[in-house]
Each structure stands twice: as C-alpha cells, then as structure tokens.
Structure 1
C-alpha cells in the first residue's frame, strides 16, 4: 500500500486586475457592497486571445512539474478539473497533454465545480495508492469571466467570480504516515438547480433553441445562484466534511495546522473559522485578491500558502470545498 504526496505546486492568474470600482463602472454596484457580502476586493479576468482554460492550466502545470523534480516522461496520468473547458468537447485534459508534449498517457476530465480539485485529488490519490501510477499531474483551471452576465441583472453572481489555474504533482510515497491520509466526497443532486447554468443542456434549452429564439432576455445560459440557500448549506456541509476527515484519522481540531477552504465567499470561511475556533494563522484565504476561481481556488490558495512559508513539513492540512451540485469534499494531508 502506497500513499500519494504532493511534490510540486504551481498557479497562474491573468495579469488583468478587475477591481470592485471597475465593476461599478459597468453595473449598479460599489466596493463597499461587494466587500461586505463577499470579502472580495479584486479578481483577475483574462483578455481574449491571451489566455484560455488550457493555456492557464499549462502555465500552472509547468511550475508544478519543475518544482516536483519529475521529468515529463515520468508523468503517468493527467486529471484536469474544470467547468469552463475551451471546447464543449473534448475536455482540456488532452489539450494539456499536447501542449506539455507529454507521451500518450491518459487524461481524465473532472467536472465537479467548486469541489473539482478535491475530487480530482481523490481520484489521483486512489490511482497511486493502488500502485497503478507513480506520478499524476492534477490541474484545475477556470475561465469564468467570459460566461458572466456583466449587467445589473447579473451583478449578484458576476462580482464573485474570477479566472485562474492551479496545479499539483502527486507522486508515490512509501512512508504511509505522510501525504494524503484520506479524502471524503459527497453530493446532493436534489439542489442542483440552486446553483447552476441551465443552458445549453440536452434536458432543457439546447444551442439550437437559443439561436432560434434570439432572445436577449434569456438568462438560462448565465449562472444562477440562490445565494442565501447556498450559504446556509455550505456552512453545514463544510463543517460536516471537515469533521469527517478528522474523525477518520483520529485527529482533533487542535491538530489542524492549516485549513484551506474553497474560496467561495470570505464570510463562509470566517464562519467556519469561528465555529472551529481556529486562529487566523490556521486558515488561509486569498479570495480578496482573486475572487472565486471555482475548481482552481484551492490549488491557487494551497500554492500561495506554501510559497509564503505557511505550510511546513509535518504539518496537518485540511482542504475543504462546497459548490454546485451540490457537491462537497475534504482531504486530510500530512505535509
């Protein structure tokens, strides 16, 4: 039995900084309103023609690969998490394989929204634990800005999201006291439409329907979020899945050296921090700078925390996420 260990981390965000004041120029909002509700001060948006979901993933992956010391020909598999692929199909995993010049290894696309990176990490972890693969590249990348309703109508959602990518190299670890100790995955499809983009979709309005109607009032292809309902569910599920991970490993809250929550809303993170009575130095947040980058938020935050020296060898890390689906997940890691 093996464990998998993160041996390299990297992230990339576009250069284009979009502040709350910038958004106030194109929709009825303001810096105070956004910060009060979300904690966000600014986010990054790509510029068309400069970045894509794949290109950002490639840039993050190159950093993670270099830091891991793993050669390209030693990479056995790719797991790519996103809800904003370059194409409707194929997914970006194969495009990443091409751009990195990797051999004809498998590429798996994960579509689990804000929980995507933890789900991807869990899949890669199981492949390594069973001995099937030795080195797996896990990437999460999102371009949300091009799919947002940047008008007064969409302001409640559009001010939240940003673009970016994060990556991790998972490698075989024979010391089973180190690496990923456990992962915990959940879903509740009953509430799928409470946070969703409904079109285009085979069960509803398809591309041909949207084109035929040519209706500028159609909101079905923009994100919808029942904000208060999502918030109430998120704080419950975050708590449950964190506790589940701790209990599975006979750990206490006091054993947590660093909690890295999905960067959905600073108010959710603060609620969880207060509930678990964690110090500021035990929780890492960067949503203030990048907004909600969906699947990419945890690897971006994880990389920044590591780069800033806030994660040290022997630390116990907890990753936790909640998002559309509903899906939620956690990972317990001994660094």
Structure 2
C-alpha cells in the first residue's frame, strides 16, 4: 500500500441472550462434548425476536466512536459488511446512519460473507486515499441465527450473532493502529460449497410459497475446512513476504473465528506459537463478518494490543473469499 489509513477506535456488541451447547442438546441431536471437541465453541449469542443486524451494528458503532473520542456527526462514510442485512432494500448502512441520529454520510453495505470486514478495510483505505478528510465507520454485523436450519446439526451449532466496528481515517493520532497492507482473493467456482441462496434471483420466491431449505445456511464442511486452511495460511505468507517479514515478526495473529481446528491448523502452517493466536470462538461461535472486528475489540479490552505490536488478520468466507491484513499498533 502506498498510502496508509489508521484505526482510531474499536467497538463490539453481542445480544444479551446466550445459547449454550447444553441448551442446544434440548432440541438438536447433539451434545456439548461433540460440539466442543469438533469446533471449540461453548456458547453463542442469539438475537431476540425483533432484534436485527442494524441494532447490533449501531451499538458496536457507539462503542467504537466513544473509543475514538468522536461523535457520530463526524462520520463521512458508513460501511456495513454483512450477509444478513435487515432487508434487501434499504441497505443496513442507511438504517445504522438513522439510528446514530445523523444524515448525509455515504452509506454502503458490502457482502463478502465472513471476509466482509477485511474486504471492507481495503475499501475504507481506498476512500481515505481519495480524500484525506474522510472519517469512516467500518463495521461487520450478522444475525446468522435467523438463517440457520435448526434441524441441520452440522451447521446450526456453529454460528452466533454479533457486531464489531472501527473508526478509520487517513490521519495518524496517538494510539491509532496503522493499516500497513492488505491482500484479498476469491474463487467463485467454489461458491456452491457455502451458501444462503434462498430468496436471491437465482432461487426466487413466489407469494405464499413455503420457505425451502435453501433459505438457510448450507455448507459442505469438509471441503470448506480444507480450502479455508490452505487459503488463509497462503495469503498470510504472500502478505508477509511482500513486506519483508516472516511469521516470526508477527506479535499476534487474529484469524476468523470459524472453528478451533481451522484456527489451530492455520497457526501450525504459519509456524506461529499458539500463545500468539487470539481465540474468542468459545464464547461467540462463528459470527461471520463480525468475527474479526469483534476479536479486535475483545483483544483490546484484554490489553493485548500494545504499542509497537504487529497484528496479522486473516479470514475466509463464502464465495469463496479470503484475505489478510497487517496492522501496526
């Protein structure tokens, strides 16, 4: 990257309702031991009826704005990464803008599934390169539990609801994190391995038609696992090499929180010690586009993001999409 952008505030929000593995045992053919050993997940947060993605993003945004020390009126752009928007139209970013009590910002949704936040990071940096006076709210928010087939035990145990947000500008300030570099990729030929197809133009609805299985998350888990590990590790290596670095120069790896076995496999491929790999998957499950910003905010709350640290982000999602970003605190 020839020009850098900076992150000034971190925020996250998860619904109050918690669904544990033991809760799932009551209505899904599964058990706590099976879920924990195969996924690393112990519990996940679930929206209440009437609670939507914009609600979660708005709350995360308020925390990020407070952490950055600015008001919502300072925002010039609102970017929301999500594959579970409030509606097809209007976009969720416009709803968030209204809930923050402001008008006039550029408001845009982006969908790269679980990779949405890291994809959005490059969009935000591009916007700051065009105009140095921009102040951007970049968020990732999902209500994936509303798109789960609770009869499919292979997918319904994996996902949770949450949002994360950051404030980005072209100006460096004390305590800000520099976005050093970003690398993104995709492979649309693998799109059918992870989908929520129902309702789109390829699987349209008719009035009063029963809701089909395609409306919910459908995933070929073994294939996704294989591609996720290879792609996340590979793109990290590409990014590090371009910046004259190796994995030994990384102080903290924050991977997409999808599955503990994926996280461990990526860390092993990169030869990064487990104590340098951030994990909060056990408390939130896979929150898709919210995963990385939620983890960043969580890591900051835990005092893990210290000045001088190099933090490597990596993600993988439906599409397939994947990416990596290097931050310097």
Q: Which residue of 1 aligns with 2:170?
A: 172
Please report the RMSD computed on the Cα atoms of aligned residues, expressed in angstroms: 1.6
Contact 1:75 1:136 in 2 (8 A): yes
Q: What is the aligned partner in structure 1 of residue 144 from structure 2? A: 144
The match for 1:160 is 158
What corresponds to 1:285 in structure 2? 279
Q: Match for residue 322 of structure 2?
A: 328
- Structure 1 length-normalised TM: 0.94
- The aligned counterpart of 2:201 is 202
Return the offset for 1:223: 1.1
| TM-score between both structures, scaled by the size of structure 2 | 0.95
Query: 1:40 aligned to 2:35?
Result: no
Separation (CA, whole Å) in 2 of partners of 1:257 and 1:130:
31
| Counterpart for residue 20 of structure 1 | 21
Q: What is aligned with 2:68?
A: 68
| Cα shift readout 1:66-117 (whole Å, capped 9, x = no counterpart) | 1101232321111110111111212100001111112301011111100000
Greater CA drift, 314-323 or 275-284 = 275-284
Separation in 1 of the partners of 2:84 and 2:312? Answer: 26
SS at match of 1:170: strand
Q: Counterparts of 1:166 and 1:121 in 2: how far apart (Å)? A: 13
In the alignment, structure 2 segments of 5+ residues that lack a partner are none
Q: Deviations over 1:8-30 (max 9, x none)?
A: 00000011110111111001100
Q: How far off is 1:132 after superposition?
A: 5.0
**Aligned partner of 2:249 among 248, 251, 255:** 255
Q: Distance in 2 between matches of 1:276 and 1:247?
A: 12
* Structure 1 position 104 matched with structure 2 position 98: no
Match of 2:240 among 246, 270, 273: 246
Structure 1 stretches of 5 or more lacking a match?
none
Bigger shift: 26-35 or 124-133?
A: 124-133
The whole-number CA distance in structure 1 between the counterparts of 2:26 and 2:261 is 25
Task: Say if 2:8 and 2:177, in contact at 8 Å, map to a contact too.
Answer: no
Greater Cα offset, 63-72 or 21-30 = 63-72
Aligned partner of 1:299 in structure 2 is 293
State whether residues 12 and 59 of structure 1, in contact with CA within 8 Å, keep that contact through their aligned partners in structure 2: yes
Provide the C-alpha distance between the structure 2 equivalents of 1:258 and 1:318, rounded to a whole number of angstroms.
Answer: 6
